[in-house]
Amino acid sequence: MIDTLDLQFLLAIKEHGSLVGAARFLNVTPSAVTQRLQQLEARLDIHLIDRTARRLHFTDEGELLCRKGQTLLEQHKALLEEVMQQHGKLVGTLKINAPFGFGRKYLTAIITQFHRLYPQVEVLLKLSEQPLLEEQDRFDLVLHIGELYNSNLIVHAIAPNQRFICAAPALIEHYGMPSSPQDLLNFPAIALQENNEDTTLWCFEQKSKKQTIRVIPSLSSNDGDVVCSWAKSGLGIIMRSQWDVADALSQGHLIRLLPEWTLPEAPVVALTHRRKGMPERVHAFMSLLKQQFSPQPPWQRR
């Protein structure tokens, strides 16, 4: 009477909001979608969708099919996954959200390795400027760097990560080497806008002493690569994560300023919805992730 393919078809229309959008998603013509919908309604002898020139509206029966159908599809998928896992195979979809720069530099290689180990797991990686502001329920795992504000997600430590103040050799030659945080106010500054943090307030600590300064950036961006490029060109000082500037420091493109002062750390963590009962594919990816950054992350091996 109705099968999983019919339910998936209806949910595609629901999700994309139009027959044309569903056709594009399903890679068929709009007329093919219209014809299939008509055949489904005729087979059930139930009107599912009211269609006008401008919009479509699901009837009560159509809404019920979508709502209950979504649950049935999830149960069907979970059953198949459980059967496959009893034979030692990982299946299903693993949805990951991570920051742009860290995702490009480190996660792509780890996911490549994971895919070779578990080819039947579909991996969806979304890189975002602000992963924590995304719809978190859509993801199995969220990678976060830095302080965590008001999250009800479970935190899994992945790797330590410090923050450094850096500048190009040419900039230091022009302004001189600073001896205290207050000296940094004499330098042009560059700010990275991320995670809704106050990125112009720099808090330093040295033993029992603390100093806080407010920089006024002459350049700002939401892209870490852009910010580092400006800094290497001598346009200003930056505060960046060690993972991001380790290569530039080892190659001499940037120099760390005030190494005797520390900034708040920005550990790399993975966030999940629960600690127990996670799907095996999430466990497997977390294990591989921790393995890649243990006993030392690559930015601390240089």
CATH number of the structural domain spanning residue 58: 1.10.10.10
Question: Distance between CA atoms of 23 and 29, rounded to whole angstroms?
Answer: 6
Burial of 30 (0-12, 13-18, 19+ CB in 10 A): middle
Q: Are residues 169 and 248 in the same domain?
A: yes
Q: Are residues 10 and 29 in the same domain?
A: yes
Name the pairing type of β-strands 141-145 and 217-221: unpaired
The backbone region for 207, taken as left when phi is positive above 0, alpha when psi lies in -120 to 50, beta otherwise, is: left
Whole domain around residue 123: which residue ranges? 92-159+267-300
User: Over the stretch 63-95, which tens digit does the pLDDT of each residue have?
Assistant: 888 888 888 877 777 676 666 665 557 888 899
**What pTM, to 2 d.p., does this model score?**
0.71
Assigned domain for 201 exists = yes
Q: Are residues 154 and 271 in the same domain?
A: yes
Split at pLDDT 50, 70, 90, the class of 16 is confident
In contact, 164 and 246? CB cutoff 8 Å: no
Q: Are residues 217 and 291 in the same domain?
A: no
Q: Which of 50-64, 116-130, 174-188, 194-208 has the lowest mean pLDDT?
A: 50-64
Burial 240-261, CB ≥16 within 10 A → b, else e: bbbbbbbebbeeebbbebbeeb
Assigned domain for 288 exists = yes
Assigned domain for 138 exists = yes
Question: Distance between CA atoms of 161 and 300, rounded to whole angstroms?
Answer: 9
- pLDDT at residue number 136: 55
Q: Are residues 181 and 211 in the same domain?
A: yes
Residue 144, phi then psi, degrees to nearest 5: -135, 145
In this prediction, residues 30-40 reach a mean pLDDT of: 89
- pLDDT at residue number 133: 59
Token pair recorded at residue 293: 């950054």
- pLDDT at residue number 26: 84
Question: Distance between CA atoms of 249 and 166, rounded to whole angstroms?
Answer: 8
Assigned domain for 227 exists = yes
Mean pLDDT of the chain: 88
Q: Which of 152-156, 246-250, 257-261, 289-293 has the lowest mean pLDDT?
A: 152-156
In this prediction, residues 43-57 reach a mean pLDDT of: 82
Q: Are residues 131 and 153 in the same domain?
A: yes
Token pair recorded at residue 226: 């852009």
AA letter at 162: Q
Residue 209 C-beta-side C-alpha neighbours within 13 Å:
6
Q: Are residues 171 and 243 in the same domain?
A: yes
Assigned domain for 133 exists = yes
Percent of the chain clearing pLDDT 70 (strictly above): 90
134: pLDDT strictly greater than 60? no
Question: Distance between CA atoms of 109 and 16, rounded to whole angstroms?
Answer: 32
Which among 95, 100, 85 has a CA at the least distance from the CA of 273? Answer: 95
Q: Are residues 296 and 148 in the same domain?
A: yes
Within the chain, residue ranges assigned H as helices are 4-16, 19-26, 30-44, 60-85, 100-102, 108-117, 169-175, 224-232, 242-250, 280-292
Question: Distance between CA atoms of 123 and 95, rounded to whole angstroms?
Answer: 6
Q: Which residue has the tokens 């930015």?
A: 299
- pLDDT at residue number 51: 77
Q: Are residues 176 and 246 in the same domain?
A: yes
User: Over the stretch 198-235, which tens digit does the pLDDT of each residue have?
Assistant: 889 999 999 889 999 999 999 999 899 999 999 999 99
Which of these three, 85, 103, 136, is where a domain ends? 85
Q: Which 8-state DSSP code applies to residue 191?
A: E
Assigned domain for 111 exists = yes
Assigned domain for 219 exists = yes
Q: Which of 8-17, 226-235, 256-265 has the lowest mean pLDDT?
A: 8-17
Which among 71, 67, 117, 72 has a CA at the least distance from the CA of 94? Answer: 117
Q: Are residues 190 and 122 in the same domain?
A: no
CATH number at residue 295: 3.40.190.10
In contact, 199 and 183? CB cutoff 8 Å: no
Per the structure, the count of domains in the chain is 3
Which of these three, 68, 85, 102, is where a domain ends? 85
- pLDDT at residue number 82: 65
Assigned domain for 262 exists = no
Token pair recorded at residue 249: 């420091």
Query: What sign has the CA pseudo-torsion 225, 230, 234, 238?
Result: negative
Q: Are residues 251 and 171 in the same domain?
A: yes
Q: Are residues 144 and 169 in the same domain?
A: no
Number of neighbours of residue 62 by Cβ within 10 angstroms: 21
Which among 12, 24, 76 has a CA at the least distance from the CA of 49? Answer: 12
The backbone region for 195, taken as left when phi is positive above 0, alpha when psi lies in -120 to 50, beta otherwise, is: left
Q: Which of 23-27, 176-180, 188-192 has the lowest mean pLDDT?
A: 23-27
CATH number at residue 186: 3.40.190.290
Q: Which of 36-40, 70-74, 237-241, 267-271 has the lowest mean pLDDT?
A: 70-74
